[in-house]
Amino acid sequence: MLIKIITFIIGFVLSSLSLTFLLLYLNILNLGYSFIEFVNFIIRKWELYLFFVGIILMVLSLRKDKNNDIYLWFID
């Protein structure tokens, strides 16, 4: 259970950190870049990949264990 909580927190931190950087990169649009150039710039940054890793970690930490006694108690 503790491993799931830690995994969720790590995933949340990674995704929120990457979204913060991606929002900061929106200032590039004010410099005269087009949307296509902005997307090409964002695709090359490692922060975009951290967002997906964080989302995957959060989804994996939220899945249910079938071996959990409380989970089996709710089924009966």
Which residues contact residue 57 at a Cβ distance below 8 angstroms, ignoring those fewer than 6 apart? 7, 8, 10, 11, 14
pLDDT tens, position by position, 37-70:
988 989 998 888 999 999 999 998 888 766 655 5
Non-local (6+) Cβ contacts of 61 within 8 A are 4, 5, 7, 8, 11
Span 11-31, average pLDDT = 91
pLDDT confidence of residue 34: 87
DSSP 45: S
| pTM confidence score | 0.74
Domain ranges, ordered by start, for the chain = 2-75
Per-residue model confidence as pLDDT tens digits over 22-34: 899 888 888 888 8
